[in-house]
């Protein structure tokens, strides 16, 4: 049965493969309908599938020759300066601004480390997913699975559009992407909104060639856990987007407060992260978890994707990731956050099918969901192996992990279960303030505009459930939690408890 680490609602309620020199050119072999075979120049990143009909120039990526600068603060972030790329390295320990021209063949160890044949960030030991080309390819697929299933770059794109449209006064717009990964979201936002300045931040360099970076987009290297106070004050943002960074955060509620303080008055913040439970078509009933006996013989008919995901959840918690806090803070929404305008707050549960199984009487919906599902299936097949290092550190041997991932491959490729991946999300806008930072009374013309979703074409699947009150959000969370109480105890928990009993 579940331990108290599963239902954490009482715990936290919110705030009151890199390139190598001389690599031969690579031919991309399509593995998904709609893919095209591409030949990239030497030194380019190699993609096994082009997720969204990229042109060769859009799909080719590399970390070589990217300039970064350190901000004027102790321990400041490394960020890309598009105006400087002299090929020289200048790392200083002072708080003065300095420039760093990053070359993956020379300076890789400054930002990443190798473990079990994969590269990981060298800044944050909590975040245990790789930072290499293989992982960036996976993140591309995940990104487009999200975009296709939700119909936009964010779950509230209509609000983003209203905020970032050019003003008559020519006021500059700014966007911060926390945990940018491959950089695809930031680059697409920069192209969509050329009037906005996009800052993309991550723990390791994004694999982007200079010629593929729009002039209004820059990249920074930093750890959010160290704080974002350098973005408070006059350099605040109109939009802040955080997606799938939770396993690297040590206090999610504090991170939320810090992020919200980086917003301009009326600015929008969006928090998104994945759920480590796999759900049936109803979006609330968990899929049975795969089990085996002491000899590794499979018992029953459970999901091995669900098994590995659950093991990873608990492994992350024992390493110090605030996963329960993440779940509380996003599931329960931004309701009650003092900086956020109450009427603008929404919490939502979004779902992406795992595999191309949806059948709809509406052709456009079926095509969209099946493509998203096919991408999500490829993403998760790769992810089950990307999770191996954190589980090995937690005591599970490689032979067991290989056996589990082979079962995941078979499960997903045969469509054994009609499963859903759940994205938890919440968003809201900062209150309007006077220059001294004090709330002001607003007239109807001054008030922050709030929007619900625009009218959409008819749909057979309810894969977007939005909540406008704290009570609605809490009730839906409780429903999912109640249905998960029967799930078996993960092996990671058993091993941890045995280790503790011998201390």
Q: pLDDT tens-digit profile of 156-203?
A: 999 999 999 988 777 889 999 999 999 999 999 999 999 999 999 999
pTM, entire model: 0.80
Tell me where in the chain the CATH 3.40.50.150 domain(s) lie.
Answer: 108-434+462-501
- Give, as one character, the DSSP assignment of residue 303: B
Mean pLDDT across 120-127 = 89
**Residues in CB range of 104: below 8 A, 6 or more apart:** 18, 19, 62, 63, 64, 205
In the prediction, which pLDDT does 211 show? 83
Residue length of the chain: 503
Tell me the CA end-to-end span of the chain in Å, nearest whole number. Answer: 24
**Residues in CB range of 267: below 8 A, 6 or more apart:** 163, 236, 237, 238, 239, 240, 429, 430
**Residues in CB range of 117: below 8 A, 6 or more apart:** none
Which residue would you say has higher pLDDT here, 451 or 458?
458
Would you say 322 and 251 are in contact if contact means Cβ atoms under 8 Å apart?
yes
Residue with tokens 């191309």: 356
CA nearest neighbour of 356 among 345, 372, 333: 372
Q: What would the CATH number be for the domain defined by 108-434+462-501?
A: 3.40.50.150
Check whether 435 has a pLDDT greater than 80.
no
Check whether 261 has a pLDDT greater than 90.
yes
Question: Cα(66)–Cα(299) distance, rounded to whole angstroms?
Answer: 51
Check whether 11 has a pLDDT greater than 50.
no
Mean pLDDT across 395-418 = 97
Q: pLDDT tier at 25 (50, 70, 90 boundaries)?
A: very low
Helix (H, G, I), strand (E, B), or coil: what is residue 209?
coil
Q: pLDDT tens-digit profile of 471-486?
A: 999 999 999 999 999 9
Question: Cα(208)–Cα(189) distance, rounded to whole angstroms?
Answer: 15
How many Cβ atoms are within 10 Å of 71's Cβ, its own excluded?
17
Average pLDDT, the chain: 79
Would you say 366 and 270 are in contact if contact means Cβ atoms under 8 Å apart?
no
How many C-alpha atoms does 325 have within 13 Å on its Cβ side? 20
**∠ CA(96), CA(99), CA(100), 5° rounding?**
130
Q: pLDDT tier at 459 (50, 70, 90 boundaries)?
A: confident
Rg from Cα positions in the chain: 22
In the prediction, which pLDDT does 95 show? 27
Q: pLDDT tens-digit profile of 372-404?
A: 999 999 999 999 999 999 999 999 999 999 999
How many Cβ atoms are within 10 Å of 172's Cβ, its own excluded?
11
Q: pLDDT tier at 109 (50, 70, 90 boundaries)?
A: low
In the prediction, which pLDDT does 185 show? 97
Q: Specify the range with the lowest mean pLDDT, choosing from 25-34, 451-460, 479-488.
A: 25-34
**∠ CA(452), CA(353), CA(483), 5° rounding?**
85
């Amino acid at each position: 049965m579940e331990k108290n680490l599963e239902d954490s609602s009482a715990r936290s309620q919110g705030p009151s493969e890199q390139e190598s020199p001389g690599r031969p050119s690579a031919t991309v072999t399509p593995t998904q309908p709609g893919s095209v075979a591409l030949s990239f120049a030497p030194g380019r990143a190699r993609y096994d599938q082009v997720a969204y009909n990229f042109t060769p120039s859009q799909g080719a990526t590399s970390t070589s020759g990217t300039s970064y600068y350190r901000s004027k603060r102790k321990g400041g972030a490394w960020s890309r300066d598009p105006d400087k790329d002299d090929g020289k390295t200048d790392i200083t320990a002072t708080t003065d601004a300095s420039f760093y021209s990053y070359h993956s063949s020379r300076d890789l160890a400054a930002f990443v480390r190798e473990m079990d044949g994969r590269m990981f960030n060298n800044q944050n030991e909590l975040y245990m997913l790789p930072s290499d080309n293989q992982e960036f390819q996976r993140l591309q697929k995940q990104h487009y699975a999200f975009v296709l299933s939700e119909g936009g770059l964010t779950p509230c794109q209509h609000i983003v559009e209203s905020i970032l449209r050019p003003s008559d006064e020519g006021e500059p717009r700014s966007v911060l992407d926390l945990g940018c990964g491959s950089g695809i979201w930031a680059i697409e936002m920069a192209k969509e909104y050329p009037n906005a300045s996009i800052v993309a931040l991550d723990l390791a360099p994004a694999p982007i060639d200079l010629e593929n970076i729009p002039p209004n987009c820059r990249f920074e290297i930093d750890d959010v856990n160290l704080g974002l106070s350098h973005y408070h004050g006059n350099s605040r943002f109109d939009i802040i987007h955080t997606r799938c960074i939770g396993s690297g955060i040590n206090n999610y509620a504090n991170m939320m407060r810090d992020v919200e303080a980086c917003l301009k008055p009326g600015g929008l913040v969006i928090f998104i992260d994945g759920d480590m439970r796999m759900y049936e078509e109803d979006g609330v009933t968990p899929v049975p978890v795969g089990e085996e006996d002491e000899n590794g013989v499979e018992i029953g008919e459970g999901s091995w994707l669900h098994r590995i995901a659950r093991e990873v959840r608990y492994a992350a918690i024992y390493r110090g990731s605030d996963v329960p806090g993440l779940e509380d803070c996003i599931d329960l929404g931004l309701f009650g956050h003092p900086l956020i305008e109450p009427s603008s707050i929404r919490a939502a549960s979004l779902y992406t099918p795992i595999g191309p199984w949806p059948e709809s009487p509406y052709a456009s919906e079926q095509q969209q969901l099946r493509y998203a599902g096919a991408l999500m299936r490829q993403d998760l097949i790769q992810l089950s192996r990307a999770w191996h290092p954190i589980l090995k550190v937690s005591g599970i041997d490689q032979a067991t992990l290989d056996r589990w991932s082979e079962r995941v491959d078979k499960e997903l490729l045969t469509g054994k279960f009609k499963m859903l991946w759940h994205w938890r999300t919440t968003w809201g806008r900062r209150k309007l303030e006077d220059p001294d930072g004090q709330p002001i009374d607003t007239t109807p013309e001054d008030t922050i505009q709030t929007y619900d979703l625009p009218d959409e074409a008819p749909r057979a699947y309810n894969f977007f459930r939005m909540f406008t009150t704290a009570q609605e959000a809490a009730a839906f969370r409780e429903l999912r939690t109640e249905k998960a109480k029967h799930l078996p105890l993960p092996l990671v928990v058993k091993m941890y408890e045995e280790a503790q009993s011998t201390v």
